[in-house]
Amino acid sequence: MIRIAIQTKGRLNEQSVSLLRDAGINIEENKRKFLTKAGGFPLEVLYLRDDDIPQSVAMGAADIGIVGMNEVAEKGFDVEIVKKLGFGGCRISLAVPKTERYESVEYFNGKRIATSYPNILSRFFEERGVKAEIHNIAGSVEIAPAAGIADAIFDIVSSGGTLVSNGLVEVERVFESEAVLIANKELSAEKRELLETLLFRIEAVLVSSGKKYLLMNLPEEAIKEAIEILPAMRSPTLMPLAQPGWYSLHSVVEERELWDKVDRLKKIGAEGILVLSVDKLIV
Ligand code: ATP
Ligand code: MG
């Protein structure tokens, strides 16, 4: 049995649950308790605030966890970063009132900066030789300059809309974050093996995301060009049709390239093009 800590509610909860589901693990959401046993895998799910996940994994209350890299870096607990998960992307940036003239990071010398990430910020300032006053604030950091309690802020930015509506402008991107799978550094052999199995499944889910399975009928003379358009894992699969001179061609493509490839395949004579979603891709 292995225990995973995930966020109870918030920005990472839904995608953490669906990643586990896609990996074949059943989590009963409506009967949510602090700790639940999953189906389909020897796994227990511990629901926590994201702030508490790095510590719970470091101390062994949970064996593994899904949390933002920002929380891992801020809290500083010694955990293993097993895998970047490709969701929950954001950055932590310094922002100043838009009326300020900003040229370089020296601007922050002697300034008061409001943040919920004092450790990441003080490491950044130390590296750059900046001496500023860091104010640790738990709530709405972005209103601190207008309220007169800080000169600048260091906060999570994703689209930048919140900054604009508070009259702030982003001046330094300091830390890039995404959700990661973390693990306790001293897992037993049994738990390590369960982690490997889970990781194998998670990787299959991540690799398949954004991919489409494409099949079509193709006249023999177009095969060479089609293979150039569709480089697949080894090469596309080719099967003869009952009608002489025609083949069925199968391949996996990136979704963002799908329409471009379909247009080019039609031009060389592809017919009956079928696009299917890829559920898992085991490489
Ligand atoms: P909790 O109640 O669990 O402490 P929270 O309010 O601290 O929740 P959320 O706002 O749910 O946290 O964000 C969780 C994580 O989602 C962040 O730590 C960060 O890694 C990631 N994230 C991605 N985009 C954003 C964003 N625009 N704002 C805040 N966090 C974001
Ligand atoms: Mg939190």
Ligand (nearest to CA of 65) = 1
**Would you identify the CATH topology of the domain 90-177?**
D-Maltodextrin-Binding Protein; domain 2 (3.40.190)
Q: Which of 59, 19, 66, 27 is nearest to 43 (CA)?
A: 27
**50 C-alpha vs ligand 1 centroid, how far in Å?**
8
Closest protein CA for atom 27 of ligand 1: 158
Residues of the chain with CATH 3.30.70.120: 211-277
Q: Which of 163, 3, 146, 156 is nearest to 71 (CA)?
A: 156
Which residues sit opposite 39 in a β-bridge? 26
Ligand (nearest to CA of 140) = 1
More confident residue, 190 or 138: 190
- Distant-in-sequence, close-in-space partners of 257: CB < 8 Å, separation ≥ 6: none
- Residue 97's identity, in one-letter code, is P
The average pLDDT across 48-62 equals 97
CATH superfamily of 2-88+179-207: Periplasmic binding protein-like II (3.40.190.10)
Report the residue among 50, 93, 158 best suited for mutation to probe ligand 1: largest number of ligand atoms under 8 A from its CB.
50
Closest protein CA for atom 23 of ligand 1: 88
The pLDDT value recorded for residue 193 is 97
Q: What's the pLDDT tens digit per position in 152-208?
A: 999 999 778 889 999 999 999 999 999 999 999 999 999 999 999 999 999 999 999
pTM, 2 dp: 0.87
Query: Which residues are near ligand 1 (CB < 6 Å)?
Result: 7, 10-12, 49-51, 68, 70-71, 88, 90, 156, 158, 177
Yes or no: domain 211-277 corresponds to CATH 3.20.20.370:
no
